């Protein structure tokens, strides 16, 4: 196991069994499960939204002494909704399609936000904006919560099932060929930089280097 031990499954995190953050996420989980239109997208799907939430929860454990329970709650709500209703397809002629995706996600959050969380809406929306790619704000300009959600979103590429989830998933959403997306992976991994000590500890340069080697090996097999 790299870094600190990762604990907690999705039901425990959603119910906040460990009493780590303020309240629980049950109403938001239900809103996503029953209403989100992107649950079965090739990449920006239910699994991705929950994976980012899971990683953000681990970061909350790591930064228990630096983030308040309410800051953790805001971060986890942002993680759950950061790709809400993602259309899973390109927008021809749109110079900044991710701007549209962010607006859709924020719209979903506003529809389902609890009255008690309305004062946190500007803060949660700012955290969702931190995942806008290509990035409009450098990692150094983000606060700790912003750095965490951006790192958690990036870390999908280092998942053991990255070929299916990232390469094939993004190829389908981009209307591209999986081989074309695979060819992009070595340079993506080479440029991959995390912003938090939590992510740097969990996702070492050795692990990232191994992904570069894996992508290059796969490409050689396909030549």
- The per-residue DSSP string of 69-129 comes to HHHHHHHHHHHHHTTTT---S--TT-S-HHHHHHHHHHHHHHHH--GGGGGGHHHHHHHHH
Average pLDDT on 129-156 reads 93
Token representation of residue 101: 């995706």
Predicted local distance difference test score (pLDDT) of residue 4: 44
Average pLDDT on 163-172 reads 96
Check pLDDT > 90 for residue 72. Answer: yes
Average pLDDT on 53-65 reads 97
Structurally, how many domains does the chain consist of? 1
Average pLDDT on 174-201 reads 96
46 belongs to a structural domain: yes
Q: Are 17 and 32 in contact (CB under 8 A)?
A: no
Predicted local distance difference test score (pLDDT) of residue 93: 67
Alpha helix ranges (H) inside the chain: 10-15, 26-35, 46-62, 69-81, 97-112, 121-129, 144-154, 162, 169-174, 178-191, 197-202, 205-221
124 belongs to a structural domain: yes
Check pLDDT > 70 for residue 7. Answer: no
- Entry pTM: 0.94
Average pLDDT on 94-100 reads 80
Average pLDDT on 21-37 reads 98
Per-residue pLDDT band at 134 (split at 50, 70, 90): confident
5 belongs to a structural domain: no
209 belongs to a structural domain: yes
The pLDDT > 90 percentage for the chain reads 85
d(CA 173, CA 48): 14
67: domain range?
Answer: 10-221
137 belongs to a structural domain: yes
**DSSP label at residue 2:** -
4 belongs to a structural domain: no
8 versus 137: which is more confidently predicted? 137
Which domain CATH number covers 189?
Answer: 1.10.1300.10
Question: Angle, to 10 degrees, between the axis of helix 26-35 and the axis of helix 97-112?
Answer: 120
Predicted local distance difference test score (pLDDT) of residue 44: 96
77 belongs to a structural domain: yes
Predicted local distance difference test score (pLDDT) of residue 97: 76
Residue carrying the six token digits 């991994």: 189
4 versus 55: which is more confidently predicted? 55
135 belongs to a structural domain: yes
């Amino acid at each position: 196991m790299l870094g600190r031990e990762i604990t907690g499954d999705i039901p425990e995190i959603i119910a906040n069994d460990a009493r780590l953050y303020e309240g629980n996420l049950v109403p938001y989980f239900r809103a996503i499960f029953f209403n989100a239109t992107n649950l079965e997208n090739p990449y920006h799907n239910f699994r991705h939204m929950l994976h980012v939430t899971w990683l953000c929860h681990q970061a909350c454990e790591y930064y228990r002494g630096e983030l308040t329970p309410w800051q953790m709650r805001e971060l986890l709500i942002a993680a759950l909704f950061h790709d809400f209703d993602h259309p899973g397809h390109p927008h021809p002629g749109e110079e900044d399609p991710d701007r549209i995706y962010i607006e859709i996600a924020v719209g979903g959050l506003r529809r389902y936000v609890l009255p008690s969380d309305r004062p946190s809406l500007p803060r949660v929306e700012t955290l969702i904006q931190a995942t806008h790619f290509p990035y409009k704000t450098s990692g150094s300009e983000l606060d700790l919560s912003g750095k965490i959600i951006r790192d958690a979103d990036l870390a999908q590429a280092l998942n053991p099932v990255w070929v299916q989830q990232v390469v094939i998933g993004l190829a389908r959403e981009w209307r591209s060929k999986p081989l074309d997306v695979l060819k992009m992976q070595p340079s993506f991994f080479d440029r991959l930089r995390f912003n938090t000590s939590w992510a740097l500890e969990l996702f070492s340069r050795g692990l990232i280097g191994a992904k570069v080697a894996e992508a290059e090996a796969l490409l050689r097999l396909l030549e």
